[in-house]
Amino acid sequence: MKLTILFSTALFMFLMQCDTAAIKTTCGVAIPTEELPWLKTKTNELKQTSLYELGQVYIWQTEYNGETYFIFDNCCPNCDSVLSIYTCDGEDVSTNQTISDYIYGIDKSNKDVIWTPENFSCNL
């Protein structure tokens, strides 16, 4: 009995000292493309596009003034497209000039890509 208590106490103390990394959340969820209903709907819509079939569309996220933004982007060399920018609640803020200027000015080599097609062909 004493051995069981001693072993249980040692195991408990060992487990309490383990460094468990906190789960990183975005907009209050761990996997935004699956857990934010509006974003899941948007990714399903992207799957119906030719850019998806070509592997040239993706979603990345960034923060600006403490707010998270999701950017729908592509690497289509022949497309003259405008980025779509959304807030955590799915509000389209693409026409907000201040946010758009910030997004367009970001060093894209450091972006946090959160969703790509299986055949992703962009060089980021």
pLDDT per residue as tens digits for the range 84-111: 999 999 999 999 999 999 888 887 666 7
CA-to-CA distance for 42 and 100, rounded, in angstroms? 20
Whether pTM exceeds 0.85: no
Query: Residue 51: in which H helix or E strand, if any?
Result: helix 50-54
- The one-letter code for the residue type at 90 is G
Residues 53-71: tens digit of each pLDDT:
999 999 999 999 999 999 9
For the cut 50, the answer to whether the pLDDT of residue 123 exceeds it is: yes
Ranges assigned E (strand) in 1-124: 57-64, 67-74, 84-86, 112-115
Q: Confirm if 85 and 70 have CB atoms less than 8 A apart.
A: yes
Token digits of residue 84: 């779509």
Q: Residue 33: pLDDT band by 50, 70, 90 thresholds?
A: very high
Residue 40 is predicted with a pLDDT of 97
Domain ranges across the chain: 23-115
